[in-house]
């Protein structure tokens, strides 16, 4: 709350006071909480409405033949870095 100081009586009107402005270092939290609660309610109401699926055409599963071959091992010699030959 601003401080109220009396005006000196040297030629000024009587009965008037002068206000001295002070800095307001506090944040009024009550309106902030009100706004946040309203936004929370809005999001809680609209979130279930936004959850709808998208229809996709997925490929059908069909059986593939199993790979029944043996493993193939390839040895790379140390000279590969110089002559690029396997």
CA separation for the pair 23, 26 (Å, rounded): 9
Tokens 């270092």 locate to 25
pLDDT at position 61, please? 77
> pTM, whole model, 2 decimals?
0.34
Bridge partners of residue 6, in order along the sequence: 17
For the stretch 8-35, pLDDT in tens is: 665 555 556 666 666 666 778 889 999 9
């Amino acid at each position: 709350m601003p401080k109220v100081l009396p005006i000196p009586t040297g030629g000024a009107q009587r009965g008037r006071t002068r206000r001295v402005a002070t800095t307001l270092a506090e944040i009024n939290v009550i309106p902030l909480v009100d706004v946040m609660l309203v936004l929370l309610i809005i999001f809680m109401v609209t979130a279930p409405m936004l959850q709808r699926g998208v229809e996709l055409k997925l490929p059908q599963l069909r059986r593939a033949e199993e790979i029944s071959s043996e493993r193939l091992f390839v040895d790379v010699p140390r000279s590969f870095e110089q002559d690029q030959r396997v």
